Amino acid sequence: MTASGIPLNPIAFIRKYDELWSRVLFLLGALVVYRFGSHIPVPGVDPSALSDFFKGNSGTLLGMFNMFSGGALERMSIMALGIMPYISASIIVQMMSAVIPSLEALKKEGEAGRRQLNKYTRQGTLALALVQAVVMSRGLLVGQDLAITSGLTFYIPAVTSLVAGAMFLMWLGEQITERGVGNGISMLMVISIISSMPMMFSQAIDMAKEGKLIAVFIVIVLATAVTAGIVLIERAQRRVPVNYAQKQQQGRKVYAQQQSHLPLKINMAGVIPAIFASSLLLVPASMSQWVGQSANPSIFQNILQNIALVLSPGQPLYLVVFGAMIIFFCYFYTALVFSPREVAENLKRSGAYVPGIRPGQQTERYLDHVLNRLTFIGAMYMTVICLMPMIMQNAAGLSFALGGTSLLIVIVVMMDFISQVQAHLMTHQYQDKTLIQ
CATH code assigned at 22: 1.10.3370.10
Query: What percentage of the chain exceeds 70 in pLDDT?
Result: 76
Q: Which of 194, 222, 247 is the last residue of a domain?
A: 194
- The length of the chain is 437
| Contacts for 344 with CB less than 8 Å, ≥ 6 apart | 359, 360, 361, 363, 364, 367
Integer Cα distance of 156 and 147 in angstroms: 13
Q: Using alpha carbons only, what angle is made at residue 408 by residues 426 and 333, rounded to the nearest 5 degrees?
A: 95
Q: What is the pLDDT of residues 371-381, one digit of tens each?
A: 999 999 999 99
Q: What is the pLDDT of residues 66-99, one digit of tens each?
A: 766 767 777 788 888 888 888 888 888 887 887 7
- Do residues 195 and 71 make contact, with C-beta atoms less than 8 angstroms apart? yes
Same domain, 238 and 267: yes
Integer Cα distance of 7 and 16 in angstroms: 8
288 falls in which pLDDT band (50, 70, 90)? low
pLDDT reading at 342 higher than 70? yes
Q: What is the pLDDT of residues 185-243, one digit of tens each?
A: 888 888 888 887 777 777 677 777 776 777 777 777 877 888 888 888 888 888 888 88
Whether 225 maps to a domain, the answer reads: yes
Whether 81 maps to a domain, the answer reads: yes
pLDDT reading at 2 higher than 80? no
Same domain, 160 and 213: no
Q: What is the pLDDT of residues 114-128, one digit of tens each?
A: 888 889 999 999 999
Residue 182 carries which side chain, given as an amino acid letter? G
Whether 234 maps to a domain, the answer reads: yes
Same domain, 206 and 100: no
CA atoms within 13 A on the CB side of 107: 17
Same domain, 294 and 272: yes
Same domain, 184 and 235: no
pTM to 2 decimals? 0.77
Same domain, 25 and 140: yes
Q: Return the pLDDT at 262.
A: 86
Integer Cα distance of 290 and 307 in angstroms: 14
Per DSSP (E only), the strands in 23-95 are: none
- Do residues 243 and 258 make contact, with C-beta atoms less than 8 angstroms apart? yes
pLDDT reading at 325 higher than 70? yes
**What does residue 151 show for φ and ψ, rounded to 5 degrees?**
75, -160
Which residues constitute the domain of residue 71? 1-194
State the alpha helices, DSSP H only, in 136-271: 152-179, 184-194, 197-209, 213-235
Q: Return the pLDDT at 289.
A: 56
Please tell me which of 38-42, 108-112, 344-348, 372-376 the model is most confident about, judged by mean pLDDT.
372-376
State the alpha helices, DSSP H only, in 292-360: 299-310, 316-337, 340-349
